[in-house]
Amino acid sequence: MNKALLACLLVIPQLAFSSPLPKQLAVPGGIVNIELGPITSPAPQVLFQKKRVLVLENDHKWVAVVGIPLNTKVGQYSVTIQSGKQKTQSNFEVNAKDYPAQYITLKNKRMVNPNPDDLKRISSERPAINKALNTWTEQPVDDLSFSLPVQGRLSSPFGLKRFFNNQPKNPHSGLDIAASTGTAITAPVPGVVINTGNYYYNGNTVFLDHGQGLITGYFHMSKITVQAGQLVETGTKLGEIGSTGRVTGPHLHWNVYLNKTKVDPALFVPELMQTDTVQ
């Protein structure tokens, strides 16, 4: 067979299955992809609940990728689209999703009910975390197909209603991947390290900026191997699995943020899109 033809045949399946968009799931904690028009015009600015929304090019159209907060009620919502001097709206429906409950027992009771000194520490850490999560850089976002940042067992999916020592707490805001202490954690797509630190609940933490409000967070590390300001590529080692912060064992807690809201990381990972993880 002609070598050039063979090369083309090998490429075709990859092109057929690749997509720069995350899986759409119009539920609390999910994502909607809204087509905005052809790329013959400049990219419009899009707002959802007064927050900027990521806009990228897909199939020769501008598309807004909107994160839906976990506390969103079922019903109709809209985004505001600003194109030049023209302002329009696009509506979408948010459907119900009943996330299961998870009951966790923690031996360290201060991780459930912090004492006054712990609360001071938690309060002092918020500005640095908020600064990272409020990052917005005006740069093109080319592809939203993520690789898994660590090889391990998916131990806790996104959105679980959480009870620590039988006390109701905030829902699970990310995807947990369990692995042995020291297992490498790598960047799922290129980005810039915008923050590293050790925080009360999150333990050793890295935040990456991928452009236009798309932020990823990596928690509970035993070791951090990058520093703020560093450019990382897909596969760059960020650190290692650990048990720092509020944990019951070694694992990575992985967060993904869009328009300042936490969304299900599994929606960005092609190998998870067809599984029960994102139903």
- Which CATH superfamily does the domain covering 3-94 fall into? Peptidoglycan hydrolase domains (2.60.40.1590)
Q: Which long-range contacts (CB under 8 A, 24 or more apart) does 225-232 make?
A: 226/193, 226/196, 227/193, 227/196, 228/193, 228/194, 228/195, 228/196, 229/192, 229/193, 230/192, 230/193, 231/190, 231/191, 231/192, 232/187, 232/190, 232/191, 232/192, 232/193, 232/208
- Mean of pLDDT values over 77-88: 94
pLDDT for 219 equals 98
Could you read off the pLDDT of 204-232 as tens digits, one per residue?
Answer: 999 999 999 999 999 999 999 999 999 99
Q: Is the pLDDT of residue 17 over 50?
A: no
Closest CA to 89 of 76, 71, 72: 76
Q: Which fold has domain 101-278?
A: Glucose Permease (Domain IIA) (2.70.70)
Which regions of the chain carry the CATH code 2.70.70.10?
Answer: 101-278
pLDDT in tens, 109-147: 999 999 999 999 999 999 999 999 999 999 999 889 999
**Mean pLDDT estimate for the chain:** 91
- Planar angle of CA 16, 17, 18, nearest 5 degrees: 100
pLDDT tens per residue across span 27-66? 999 999 999 999 998 999 999 999 999 999 999 999 999 9
Estimate to the nearest angstrom the gap between the alpha carbon of 52 and the chain centroid: 16
Q: Is 152 a residue whose pLDDT tops 70?
A: yes
pLDDT of residue 273: 76
SS (H, E, C) the chain: CCHHHHHHHHHHHHHHHCCCCCCCECCCCCEEEEEEEECCCCCCEEEECCEECEEEEECCEEEEEEECCCCCCCEEEEEEEEECCEEEEEEEEECCCCCCEEEECCCCHHHCCCCHHHHHHHHHHHHHHHHHHCCCCCCCCCCCCCCCCCCCEEEECCCCEEEECCEECCCCCCEEEECCCCCEEECCCCEEEEEEEEECCCEEEEEEECCCCCEEEEEEECEECCCCCCEECCCCEEEECECCCCCCCCEEEEEEEECCEEECHHHHCHHHCCCHHHC
Q: How does pLDDT run across 200-211, given as a tens digit for each residue?
A: 999 999 999 999
CA 228 to chain centre: 19
Q: What are phi and psi of 221, to 5 degrees?
A: -65, 150
Delimit the CATH 2.60.40.1590 region(s) of the chain: 3-94
Q: For residue 113, count other CB atoms closer than 10 A to its CB.
A: 11
Whether 2 shows a pLDDT value over 80: the answer reads no
pLDDT recorded at residue 1: 39
